[in-house]
Structure 1
Amino acid sequence: MIIIGEKINGAIPSVAKAIVEKDADFIRNLAKIQTAAGVQFIDVCASVEDSIELETMKWLIDLVQEVTETPIAVDSPNVHICAEAMKFCNKPGLFNSVSLEGDKIELAFSAIADTEWECVALLNSDKGIPKTAKDRLDVFADLMVKVKEYNIDPSRMHIDPLIEMLCTSEDGIKMVTDVIRKIKEQYQTIHVTGAVSNISFNLPVRKMVNMGFVVLAMNAGLDSAILDPTNRDLMGIIFATEALLGDDEYCMEYIGAYREGIFGPVKK
């Protein structure tokens, strides 16, 4: 599983406070603890007003890169900000995100086409969020036309099937898992991702719903996720599910993660 650490996000009150107060040590620590948890990318999202977003992104990215070599996921709803923030990164990372809304995909793919950067793509368009699996797969088909046009290898793409609140769903997660399965059937090397915690909004004991979702989604083909990597219960479920699905030969990754304290006892 490709883990994208979600903790450096200005939408989180403690991070917003650190941004306002320029608390560099707080941000550095968030980068260090996510690296220790074994993430493949550290998401950096400023979530501030437009006039200061780019400078805030640079401040955050610089702090992260002071303490870790883990690649950055530049995260903003504004593709121009993502494209500019790429320039602050010491190595290729993850462009988060793009969609078929307006000219976003042209701007994003122009920025990453001739690089090693990977990209999150949401399955929505100018028509909004598709309501059925078929409609989301139609958006996916249109998206992959653009991926081919810009000569981007599918293995660099992380497709977000749009994980929505379980409490407003009429059929649980069936639509999402159907979309995941169809995507993986068509492109075996492509990644499927999503913000895991979206599923449990407005529900009690959210961690239980998140863990149940991860198991079912991984069984459908989810192999990338945006989540809190310091949640040891969730990380344990992920490693266990990989082993149960046969994606962890002799359970070596599971055993190693336990020994490293990612979900088991912390070494002294």
Structure 2
Amino acid sequence: MTEKVFDIIGENFNTTRRLKPTSPRVIQEGGKFGVSYAGPDGSRRLLDITDIWPADPAKLRTFQIPHVAHAVRKKDLDYIAWVINSQVNAGANIIDLCVDEIAVDPAERHRTMTWLVPVAQKITDAIIAIDSSDPATIVAGLNVHDASRGRPAINSVNLEDGRQDLIKLAKEKNALLFANASGRDGMPKDEHERVKNLCELMEMMNKVGVPITDRYLDPLAFPASTGAAFGGHYLEAVREIRRLYPEVHIFGGHSNTSFGLPQRKIMNSAFIILSILAGCDTLMIDPIMNPPREFVEFKLGADVVLGKDEFAMRYMAAFRGSSATARRPALRAAG
């Protein structure tokens, strides 16, 4: 198919990512410990974690393996490539890079992002989203991004002090711009604050001249286990933003809603489907846990049922020529 259905932002390259020591991916061989993954040739490889494995078995009860951060510190290019390519192969067309937990020292975070962005661009043609709570780390990544290999994305701007300068930088660097609903005084309390904050950011982007189709608005999804109203706040904000700005992209950290709950895949799927119905056209997810294709297919079918795809033209274009085994629609990257 030629028409884009969603943008998929792969969230897995984040130095906060951890594995439990009981994970089936954790292997002990020959007195060493490693995290298994598939190498470039498909063979089993191990990320060596022996030097961070607790010598005291009692500490294993609370120990978690910072596998992404460890691979970045070790500059293990094969593991880094696996984390990126596994998401691209699952359907992600934007790869988010976040190294905030690599170090407390801002200068070290800047150096890490400066090293990582060119590495990621050599691994994939997907859009690279430079993600940090520190604007200077984002700037460091943008300064080494090779525009000849594609457009960057900035994750993200909000109303917190010091972040608005990224709006002008997005225009200068021809970057996609992610904007979240955080306010000057902290997180939004309800759907009304979310919409108000994002509308203010939209006005700032209007003044700078950021194209509307380069804007990705994030109303902020919070864990459902910490507040019964949080899911509704997010979904109502999505509906109102879609009404106000029909052409803008809307997304969220869709995996956030399941944080702290068992069977996270089920919670994620439910929230993603509700978000699509509310108006999201972009998903920030773990594409391995929640493969994007099921949501692409849901969207294509839902648009027919809801009268948004007249005569089912897009649906038929996606599946025309299918036999008993339906040909699945391809995801098309933005940009």
Shared fold, TM over 0.5: yes
Name the CA distance, whole Å, in 2 between partners of 1:236 and 1:38.
7
Q: What is the CA-CA distance between 1:244 and the residue it aligns to?
A: 2.1
Q: List aligned pairs for 1:149-188, cutoff 5 A.
A: 149-171=207-229, 173-188=231-246
Structure 1, residues 123-161: CA drift from partner, whole Å, max 9, x if none? 111221121211221112211111111111222111110
Correspondence 1:3 to 2:8: yes
- Structure 1: which amino acid aligns with 2:7? I
Counterpart for residue 94 of structure 2: 41
Name the CA distance, whole Å, in 2 between partners of 1:56 and 1:78.
13
Counterpart for residue 153 of structure 2: 94
Name the CA distance, whole Å, in 2 between partners of 1:156 and 1:213.
24
Q: Is the 8 A contact 1:41 1:93 kept in 2?
A: no
Q: Secondary structure at the match of 1:196?
A: coil
Name the CA distance, whole Å, in 1 between partners of 2:327 and 2:193.
44
Counterpart for residue 34 of structure 2: none
Q: What is the CA-CA distance between 1:262 and the residue it aligns to?
A: 8.5
Structure 1, residues 5-32: CA drift from partner, whole Å, max 9, x if none? 1121111121011122221110012222
Correspondence 1:144 to 2:149: no
Name the CA distance, whole Å, in 2 between partners of 1:39 and 1:19.
21
Structure 1, residues 38-77: CA drift from partner, whole Å, max 9, x if none? 3221111112222211221122222222222111000111
- Structure 2: which amino acid aligns with 1:133? E
Structure 1, residues 163-196: CA drift from partner, whole Å, max 9, x if none? 0011122336221111001101111110111111
Q: Is the 8 A contact 2:128 2:153 kept in 1?
A: yes
Aligned residues: 260
Q: What is the CA-CA distance between 1:260 and the residue it aligns to?
A: 7.2
Greater alpha carbon shift after TM alignment, 19-28 vs 247-256? 247-256
Counterpart for residue 57 of structure 2: none
Q: What is the CA-CA distance between 1:33 and the residue it aligns to?
A: 2.0
Correspondence 1:124 to 2:124: no
Counterpart for residue 197 of structure 1: 255
User: Quick one: structure 1 residues 205 and 252, their matched pair in 2 at CA, closer, same or farther if it must change by over 3 Å?
Assistant: farther
Name the CA distance, whole Å, in 1 between partners of 2:228 and 2:88.
38
TM-score, structure 2 normalization: 0.72
User: Quick one: structure 1 residues 160 and 207, their matched pair in 2 at CA, closer, same or farther if it must change by over 3 Å?
Assistant: same
Q: Is the 8 A contact 1:95 1:117 kept in 2?
A: yes
Residue 14 of structure 1 is aligned with which of 42, 63, 67? 67
Q: What is the CA-CA distance between 1:81 and the residue it aligns to?
A: 1.4
- Structure 2: which amino acid aligns with 1:3? I
Counterpart for residue 238 of structure 1: 295
Residue 314 of structure 2 is aligned with which of 239, 246, 249? 249
- Larger Rg belongs to: 2
- Structure 2: which amino acid aligns with 1:23? D
Q: List aligned pairs for 1:43-122, cutoff 5 A.
A: 43-47=96-100, 48-49=102-103, 50-90=106-146, 91-105=150-164, 107-122=165-180
The ranges of structure 1 where at least 4 consecutive aligned residues each deviate by more than 6 angstroms after the TM superposition are: 260-263
TM-score, structure 1 normalization: 0.89
Name the CA distance, whole Å, in 2 between partners of 1:154 and 1:215.
24
Q: Secondary structure at the match of 2:158?
A: strand
Correspondence 1:219 to 2:277: yes
Name the CA distance, whole Å, in 2 between partners of 1:148 and 1:108.
14
- Structure 1: which amino acid aligns with 2:118? D
